[in-house]
Amino acid sequence: MEFGYARVSTNEQNLNLQLDAFLKEGISEKNIFTDKVSSTKEERKSLSKLMNYLREGDVLVVWKLDRLARSLIHFTNLVNELDEKGVKFRSITEPFLDTTDKSPHSSFIVSMFAELAQLERDIIIERTKAGLASARLRGKVLGAPKGISKKNQQKAILCEEYFKEGILTVAAICERLEISRATYYKYLRYRGLDGKLRPYKA
Protein backbone atom coordinates (compact mmCIF):
# COMPACT_ATOMS: atom_id res chain seq x y z
CA MET A 1 0.00 0.00 0.00
CA GLU A 2 1.22 3.52 -0.79
CA PHE A 3 1.26 6.32 1.78
CA GLY A 4 1.94 9.98 1.10
CA TYR A 5 3.76 12.41 3.37
CA ALA A 6 3.39 16.16 2.79
CA ARG A 7 4.90 19.09 4.66
CA VAL A 8 4.90 22.85 4.42
CA SER A 9 6.73 25.27 6.68
CA THR A 10 4.83 27.49 9.06
CA ASN A 11 5.09 30.50 6.73
CA GLU A 12 3.80 28.68 3.63
CA GLN A 13 0.22 28.88 2.39
CA ASN A 14 -1.13 25.34 2.12
CA LEU A 15 -0.56 21.71 1.18
CA ASN A 16 -2.73 21.66 -1.94
CA LEU A 17 0.07 21.21 -4.49
CA GLN A 18 1.42 18.15 -2.74
CA LEU A 19 -2.01 16.71 -1.94
CA ASP A 20 -3.14 17.03 -5.56
CA ALA A 21 0.03 15.25 -6.70
CA PHE A 22 -0.66 12.34 -4.34
CA LEU A 23 -4.25 12.02 -5.52
CA LYS A 24 -3.06 11.96 -9.16
CA GLU A 25 -0.73 9.12 -8.18
CA GLY A 26 -3.74 7.19 -6.93
CA ILE A 27 -2.91 7.50 -3.23
CA SER A 28 -6.02 7.46 -1.06
CA GLU A 29 -6.69 10.64 0.92
CA LYS A 30 -6.90 8.61 4.14
CA ASN A 31 -3.34 7.43 3.52
CA ILE A 32 -1.86 10.93 3.35
CA PHE A 33 -0.08 12.29 6.43
CA THR A 34 0.75 15.98 6.75
CA ASP A 35 2.81 18.33 8.91
CA LYS A 36 2.98 22.11 8.97
CA VAL A 37 6.35 22.74 10.53
CA SER A 38 9.72 24.30 9.70
CA SER A 39 12.29 22.12 7.93
CA THR A 40 14.68 22.56 10.88
CA LYS A 41 12.13 21.48 13.48
CA GLU A 42 13.11 18.12 14.92
CA GLU A 43 9.63 16.95 15.95
CA ARG A 44 7.22 16.07 13.15
CA LYS A 45 4.27 14.38 14.77
CA SER A 46 2.57 13.09 11.60
CA LEU A 47 5.83 11.77 10.14
CA SER A 48 6.58 9.92 13.38
CA LYS A 49 3.07 8.48 13.37
CA LEU A 50 3.46 7.38 9.74
CA MET A 51 6.86 5.78 10.35
CA ASN A 52 5.35 3.71 13.16
CA TYR A 53 2.36 2.78 10.99
CA LEU A 54 4.24 1.58 7.91
CA ARG A 55 4.58 -2.16 7.41
CA GLU A 56 6.56 -4.47 5.13
CA GLY A 57 5.51 -4.07 1.51
CA ASP A 58 4.29 -0.49 1.92
CA VAL A 59 5.68 2.47 -0.04
CA LEU A 60 6.33 5.95 1.38
CA VAL A 61 5.76 8.62 -1.29
CA VAL A 62 6.75 12.29 -1.12
CA TRP A 63 6.31 15.11 -3.60
CA LYS A 64 9.91 16.23 -3.17
CA LEU A 65 12.80 15.12 -0.97
CA ASP A 66 13.05 18.39 0.96
CA ARG A 67 9.46 17.86 2.17
CA LEU A 68 10.65 14.76 4.03
CA ALA A 69 14.24 15.17 5.20
CA ARG A 70 16.05 17.96 7.05
CA SER A 71 19.46 16.92 5.71
CA LEU A 72 21.29 14.11 3.95
CA ILE A 73 21.99 12.52 7.31
CA HIS A 74 18.31 12.64 8.19
CA PHE A 75 17.37 11.21 4.78
CA THR A 76 19.77 8.27 5.00
CA ASN A 77 18.63 7.50 8.54
CA LEU A 78 15.01 7.43 7.34
CA VAL A 79 15.85 5.24 4.33
CA ASN A 80 17.72 2.81 6.59
CA GLU A 81 14.75 2.68 8.95
CA LEU A 82 12.39 2.06 6.03
CA ASP A 83 14.68 -0.64 4.66
CA GLU A 84 14.70 -2.44 8.00
CA LYS A 85 10.89 -2.43 7.93
CA GLY A 86 10.81 -3.68 4.33
CA VAL A 87 9.23 -0.40 3.20
CA LYS A 88 10.11 1.29 -0.10
CA PHE A 89 10.44 5.00 -0.87
CA ARG A 90 9.91 7.20 -3.90
CA SER A 91 9.74 10.89 -4.80
CA ILE A 92 7.17 12.07 -7.37
CA THR A 93 9.23 14.96 -8.77
CA GLU A 94 12.57 13.18 -8.42
CA PRO A 95 12.19 9.80 -10.16
CA PHE A 96 15.85 9.00 -9.54
CA LEU A 97 14.93 8.69 -5.83
CA ASP A 98 12.92 5.50 -6.03
CA THR A 99 13.84 2.40 -4.03
CA THR A 100 10.89 0.55 -5.62
CA ASP A 101 12.94 0.64 -8.83
CA LYS A 102 15.46 -2.20 -8.96
CA SER A 103 17.62 -0.45 -11.56
CA PRO A 104 21.34 0.12 -10.80
CA HIS A 105 20.77 3.85 -11.39
CA SER A 106 18.38 4.23 -8.46
CA SER A 107 20.60 2.13 -6.19
CA PHE A 108 23.60 4.26 -7.11
CA ILE A 109 21.82 7.53 -6.29
CA VAL A 110 20.66 6.30 -2.88
CA SER A 111 24.13 4.90 -2.14
CA MET A 112 25.74 8.19 -3.19
CA PHE A 113 23.47 10.09 -0.80
CA ALA A 114 24.50 7.71 1.97
CA GLU A 115 28.19 8.34 1.23
CA LEU A 116 27.66 12.11 1.26
CA ALA A 117 25.82 11.82 4.57
CA GLN A 118 28.74 9.88 6.02
CA LEU A 119 31.09 12.58 4.75
CA GLU A 120 28.93 15.18 6.50
CA ARG A 121 29.13 13.16 9.74
CA ASP A 122 32.92 12.89 9.43
CA ILE A 123 33.26 16.64 8.84
CA ILE A 124 31.14 17.38 11.92
CA ILE A 125 33.32 15.04 14.00
CA GLU A 126 36.53 16.66 12.73
CA ARG A 127 35.18 20.15 13.38
CA THR A 128 34.19 19.07 16.88
CA LYS A 129 37.68 17.74 17.58
CA ALA A 130 39.22 20.95 16.27
CA GLY A 131 36.82 23.00 18.40
CA LEU A 132 37.73 21.02 21.50
CA ALA A 133 41.44 21.45 20.85
CA SER A 134 40.98 25.17 20.29
CA ALA A 135 38.98 25.47 23.50
CA ARG A 136 41.69 23.67 25.46
CA LEU A 137 44.31 26.06 24.14
CA ARG A 138 42.20 28.99 25.34
CA GLY A 139 41.88 27.37 28.76
CA LYS A 140 38.16 26.79 28.55
CA VAL A 141 36.43 24.22 30.75
CA LEU A 142 35.19 21.42 28.50
CA GLY A 143 32.73 19.70 30.81
CA ALA A 144 29.16 19.24 29.64
CA PRO A 145 27.25 22.52 30.14
CA LYS A 146 24.54 22.38 32.77
CA GLY A 147 21.27 21.26 31.27
CA ILE A 148 22.83 19.71 28.13
CA SER A 149 23.55 16.00 27.80
CA LYS A 150 26.98 14.73 26.83
CA LYS A 151 25.49 13.62 23.52
CA ASN A 152 24.60 17.22 22.66
CA GLN A 153 27.76 18.79 24.04
CA GLN A 154 29.52 18.45 20.69
CA LYS A 155 26.68 20.24 18.92
CA ALA A 156 26.88 23.07 21.46
CA ILE A 157 30.60 23.45 20.73
CA LEU A 158 29.95 23.44 16.99
CA CYS A 159 27.28 26.13 17.42
CA GLU A 160 29.89 28.30 19.11
CA GLU A 161 32.44 27.71 16.34
CA TYR A 162 29.95 28.43 13.55
CA PHE A 163 28.80 31.54 15.43
CA LYS A 164 32.34 32.87 15.65
CA GLU A 165 33.05 32.12 11.98
CA GLY A 166 30.03 34.20 10.98
CA ILE A 167 29.84 32.54 7.56
CA LEU A 168 26.78 30.27 7.67
CA THR A 169 23.26 31.54 8.25
CA VAL A 170 21.34 30.40 11.32
CA ALA A 171 19.07 28.29 9.08
CA ALA A 172 22.08 26.58 7.49
CA ILE A 173 23.66 25.86 10.86
CA CYS A 174 20.42 24.42 12.23
CA GLU A 175 20.00 22.21 9.17
CA ARG A 176 23.60 21.00 9.31
CA LEU A 177 23.38 20.12 13.01
CA GLU A 178 19.74 18.94 12.80
CA ILE A 179 18.53 21.25 15.57
CA SER A 180 15.84 23.90 15.88
CA ARG A 181 16.58 27.62 15.92
CA ALA A 182 15.58 27.79 19.61
CA THR A 183 18.02 24.98 20.44
CA TYR A 184 20.78 26.78 18.53
CA TYR A 185 20.42 29.92 20.67
CA LYS A 186 20.10 27.78 23.79
CA TYR A 187 23.44 26.14 23.01
CA LEU A 188 25.07 29.54 22.44
CA ARG A 189 23.86 30.71 25.83
CA TYR A 190 25.26 27.58 27.45
CA ARG A 191 28.59 28.32 25.77
CA GLY A 192 28.67 31.70 27.50
CA LEU A 193 27.68 33.84 24.50
CA ASP A 194 24.41 35.15 25.93
CA GLY A 195 25.57 38.76 26.07
CA LYS A 196 27.48 38.64 22.80
CA LEU A 197 24.73 37.67 20.39
CA ARG A 198 24.57 39.84 17.31
CA PRO A 199 22.11 40.05 14.42
CA TYR A 200 22.25 37.03 12.13
CA LYS A 201 21.32 36.33 8.58
CA ALA A 202 17.94 34.63 8.32
User: Domain residues of the chain, as ranges?
Assistant: 2-113, 143-202
User: Measured between alpha carbons, how far is 42 from 50 in angstroms, rounded to an integer?
Assistant: 15
Measured between alpha carbons, how far is residue 85 from residues 28, 74, 154, 173 in Å?
Answer: 22, 17, 31, 31
- Chunked into runs of 10 residues, the chain (202 residues) has average pLDDT values of 90 83 94 83 81 93 85 78 88 84 61 58 63 62 57 80 79 83 86 59 42
2-113 against 143-202: fold identical: no
Class of the domain covering 143-202: mainly alpha
* pLDDT value of residue 201: 43
* pLDDT value of residue 102: 62
pTM recorded for the entire structure: 0.55
Question: Which residues participate in catalysis according to the annotation?
Answer: 9
**Contacting residues for 93 by C-beta, under 8 A, at least 6 apart:** 21, 63, 64
The CATH architecture of the domain made up of 2-113 is: 3-Layer(aba) Sandwich (3.40)
DSSP-H helix ranges across 28-180 = 45-53, 72-85, 104-137, 150-165, 170-177
Closest Cα partner for 75 from 142, 175, 167, 192? Answer: 175
